[in-house]
Structure 1
Amino acid sequence: MHIVAVLALDQVVPFDLATPIEVFSRTRLPGGAPAYEVRICGTGDLDAGAFRLRPPWDLSGLADADTVIVPGRSSNPPLPGVVVSALRAAAARGTRIASICSGAFVLAETGLLDGLRATTHWAAAPELARRYPAVDVDPGVLYVDNGQILSSAGAAAGLDLCLHLIRRDHGSAVAADAARLSVMPLEREGGQAQFIAHDPPPTPRGSELEPVLAWIEDNCARELTLPDLAARAGMSTRTLNRRFREQTGTTPLQWLLRARVRRAQHLLEATTEPVDRIAAEVGFGSPGAFRERFKRVVGTSPQAYRASFRAPVG
């Protein structure tokens, strides 16, 4: 039987810990036999925030595991050396290792993510990239599968990852049954970009671009050109492009398009206006161009986004 070892560390996030335990424990093969043996492993009494726990297995439970799952932690203090050694040894044996949410910080600290693409909760992605520059952090996806080493985004994305692993191990039929038990689609459309708050990206306070950026947010529905933006900023188009690159990491027109998408997200959530009308209201020349840009930025279609985030009426 496939052994899944769930590594519970101090400050473990209870949701991240419970997800693989529940999903793998409930998975059944076509004849009804359990598909997995699940072990909760740790190093003694652990603080899980609202409660304390003592895992029934110590780190020796990782020794013959086929898969190790590393849940996230509410904080990321340095790892005990025995944990680093145990994870590196498991990787050297060829064990499949997957992180959920901020569990990516654990894998990054061991060096197992060096040179690999990985993800974590979108809010933690900038810190992961800053602390571990050897990791190629992708904040826009639900999970990343590198073969032996995998990572997932926050909260429910851990469930997406578990279902993906079940499908790898036992095929789509078994995974679909596990998804139904979890009242979860086997595959969700889009990535975690659709869940990122649509506030404008931060700009250095006092930046010379601050006034023009605020003006773009207020006027993004207008038909604006690069010369229009340069005139508003009191710069040449060449200087404006250079300052944008230096201070925002993007171009004026890319910033404008993202501002239009953020406005569209708000309208999709707060109104029942048709998508084509919203496209016009936020400044896109055609519904097709709007749908293409929205999908590129948010990771899903306007219709799917509205279905997920439309506020209930009444």
Structure 2
Amino acid sequence: MKISIGLPNLVRDVRPEVLPEWARRAEAAGFFSLSAGGRLAFPGVMDTVTLAAAAGATSTIGLISNVLVAPVWPPVLLAKEIAGIQGVSSGRLTLGLGVGGRQEDFVVEGAGPRGLGKRMDEALEVFRDFWAGRPVEGSEYAGVPGGRVEIPLLFGGTAPAALNRMAKWGKGYIAGTVPVSMAASWFDGARQAWTEAGREDHQYLVGTAYFALGDVEKGRANVYDYYSSLGPEVAGLTAGAVAGGTGAVRDVIKQYEDLGIDELFFNAPTDDPDEVELLAEAVR
């Protein structure tokens, strides 16, 4: 199982200037990939901006959006944005996608929080054609440099429609940042959908966990803050699952290894770059 690290772009009032440094340190420490979460209605840095900054600050480490909420974007605009990040990163980007669920994130006129699955399916058709260099309505002057680009897709979500979408379009599945016991059932659902779709190729499975090795209480408070819009029960459950300390981090790794997944991201709920080296030491 590969160990990766999430960029802290969605810590409240994150210092944007630390994100490139965080990315450089993560690459130097030997993590497999970097990820960036996606939300609009939160005082953080956009996932696309974060991933582009990380691409410019590094040269070999993988990049994943975990996950980008596609229906908040006009499809052609997002297709162009992602193609650009893939280009400047020399092909290191994997696009993790979800439909979202927080109504406040849907701020673009004409793209409200309704009909999300239908819009996602339509967007995927646009992405496929746009990245292949085929004509797409509204993209006459917005093509991809070089004519085409390859973007591997991962999907999050637990609804049957989300899992079926993953099995049709994706190379695998990303579970949300939840306790391991909950993630286990989500991976089971993803595996079942993959099998039922007749997929015989390898399904790439990705887990996500929070960690805090410096200021643990601040980390838990920041996680609670981020999830507070979903209610105290969800916020408390997620904050309580933060791996606080080396032993807890190693326990989480063991639990996810037992689930047989391919890659595990540890997300830091503070923007202190020293967390990178602390995590690298904990996972050795």
Which structure has more strand as a fraction of its residues?
Answer: 2
Higher RCO, 1 vs 2 (CA within 8 Å, ≥6 residues apart) = 2
Q: TM-score, normalised by structure 1?
A: 0.28
